[in-house]
Structure 1
Amino acid sequence: MTAMAILDPPSRVSVLISGSGVIVEGDSVTLNCISDSNPPAEISWFKGKIKILQSGETYSITNIKSDASGDYRCSARNKHGSQTSAAVNVNIMYPPRNVSVSISPSGVIVEGDSVTLNCISDSNPPAEISWIKGGTIVGSGRIFSISKISSDDSGEYKCKSINEHGERYSDTVTLNVMSVRCFSPVSVGVAVGVALAVGVLLGGASGAFVMYICLTKRMNRRSAMKEISDPNEDTYTALELKSTTSDLYDTLTTVDRRPPEDS
């Protein structure tokens, strides 16, 4: 008596990853599609929702790259039906790369400002970050903040990114903290002259910026002093803007607060 073959569609379809443990960039990986069917099923492979051109029960990747990470599935089909496996995640580990430092805010940094350095790093698993000024470790964590920065904080900084697969340093960035040491001359006219000299010595926009801060501070102090001055005082000295857009003050004006007397 001849046994009758039982024909059925694919069932119990699953994916197995060859080997075990951590998959590191550069390894070779093999995926096997397991299927129970009669007749044997045709196998197709998918990464996410994208169908992979390769077919067959085995899907191999040699010298695997980090962009091969993702969810993989196989689909088994015969003339009696089809079934798709559950997704299996392939997670590729790799050492830090593309390490760099950004500074916020950008531009001129003046004593008293708050400055944040951000270490940008691509790695799997996420890297541990340390901060180095010169040859000394000064902090850890992806973000390094300095509040009320001083000229002592000037120098070269870089971050080190490390995980169990390797380490990498960023390029060096330079923090140049400008010291704003305002002056206390006998008169505002002398203050303006000294500020101009400071601007010339420091050069360009940076010098002008320091000069502006000094003049602004001095103007604010004079305004505060005027508010508590003798109410019977007849005149006071004010700084007058050179133009509506200028940061410089170039004239002294004497203002009489008394209304004109009737003639």
Structure 2
Amino acid sequence: MMKIHVLIDEPEMYLNQTGNTVECTSDANPAVYQYEFEVDGKVVRTADAVYELKGTECVNITCFGTNKIGTGNASDIVCPLWNYKPQITSDPAPDSLQVGDNVTFTCLSDANPTSEIAWLRNNVTIIEMDDRFTRNDNTSILHIDGLTRDDHALYGCSSRNILKEILSDQIELNIECECLTVEWPTVYPEQTVETLSWKTRLVIVNVCVGMLIGAIVMCIGMFVYNRCYIRENTKTKKQDMYMNSIVNDSDKDHYDDLQNKLEMPAYHSVY
């Protein structure tokens, strides 16, 4: 029994080739020792059971296999499969846009079967879009109205069919804006405030502390002096009162007793 199936060579899928081959297989006994292909009525002999497809059109292929008993065949219509890397363009150029402008991205895809187009922003698929974002029916065009600074990003598209999903290159959307210029008020020389060095600040602090300590010591000294002065003055007044109370020598003994009570030296009258 003969079979035909398509082999997909994925590394070639991204190049400018289809990368598809047709393989003819058989489970005949004894084994097939010779294969031939007939492509759209033309016989093509190959060294093995593989035929490389050329072009992008579907072809009618018949595979013949011969063993010791005889020749068998199988036929099928084979269509090449491919999915080339999509190309993305921007109108206008992405580096000449300003806030409020509009931009249109176009994703050009060449694939068979036809691929589905998706849009990406900073490598993340755009699923939900606000009112400023619109796409056409087959999603190959993305239009953005009224650009803002938040729209600055890397934009790209992807092409996916039954073979694989392939990403395009990315376009960086640079958005310029008219920034407000802030002018600082003019500082005139007389308004300039010079900052004191730490050494100068330390000297000022030490002087202030010294003056404060001196004032405290002075207050304490004046307080002690006044207390002693009042005390001595009081004793002197008491002594004078008792001295004036002495009239004659007969009061001397009484006066001595009073002097002892006042802890003062005895007073001796000299007449």
Q: TM-score range by the shorter chain?
A: 0.3 to 0.5
TM-score scaled to structure 2, two decimals? 0.40
Structure with bigger strand share is 1
Scaled by the length of structure 1, the TM-score of the pair is 0.41
- Greater helix percent: which structure? 2
